[in-house]
Structure 1
């Protein structure tokens, strides 16, 4: 048995949830926030048999899309940099971060 922890962008979470339901994959869904862009993410915790790990990973890969967005960097409050204005910059976001870990024991109460 494995534990899959998948962090996906909120924009991709709905489609992925639907795929999990269709494939009878049980997942715990958590609302999380990313550190760099401070944007909304969804973290899934999935306990799954070893033979279904590749199936779950394929679903995550299919549902998680990279996209470009604009973000405004924090304004520098240094007094020596008068007139400095932060301009939006294009960054690539999305995709998924996935951890697969072995599970020694599973119990459900």
Structure 2
């Protein structure tokens, strides 16, 4: 068994949870905040049999696509100057961790 922990953008979360549920993949949803943009994320936890791992990863990849986003200047570290113009960054997609599960019990 594998534990999948996927950090996705809030905007992708409802569609992803619906698709996972439609495919009989149990999912636990946690609210989280990203460190770089300080925006809301969703962390999803899923326990799946190893044979379903690729299926779940394909669903995540299909729904959580990277997108461009322009951010306003933000202060840098103390002693550094602020970026003088808006910056385009790539956001979205998903950060996915796959871990082995030593033991699983549903009580």
TM-score where L is the length of structure 1: 0.88
CA, structure 1 residues 4+86, in 2 after alignment: closer, same or farther (shift >3 Å)?
Answer: same
**Structure 1: distance between partners of 2:77 and 2:103:** 52
When the two chains are superposed, the root-mean-square deviation of aligned CA atoms in Å is: 2.0
**In the TM superposition, what are the counterparts of 1:8-27 in structure 2 within 5 Å?**
8-27=8-27
Conserved in 2, the CA contact under 8 Å of 1:72 and 1:86?
no
- Tell me how far 1:77 sits from its aligned partner: 9.3
**In the TM superposition, what are the counterparts of 1:9-48 in structure 2 within 5 Å?**
9-48=9-48
- How many positions carry a matched residue from both structures? 106
**Structure 2: distance between partners of 1:20 and 1:63:** 10
CA, structure 1 residues 94+78, in 2 after alignment: closer, same or farther (shift >3 Å)?
Answer: closer
- Tell me how far 1:61 sits from its aligned partner: 0.3
In structure 2, stretches of 5+ residues that fail to align are none
2:93 matches 1:89: no
**Structure 2: distance between partners of 1:59 and 1:16:** 8
SS in 1 for 2:75: coil
* Regions of 4+ moved over 6 Å: none
In structure 1, stretches of 5+ residues that fail to align are none
Select the structure of larger CA radius of gyration: 1
**Structure 2: distance between partners of 1:75 and 1:23:** 44
**Structure 2: distance between partners of 1:63 and 1:33:** 20
TM-score where L is the length of structure 2: 0.89
Conserved in 2, the CA contact under 8 Å of 1:71 and 1:88?
yes
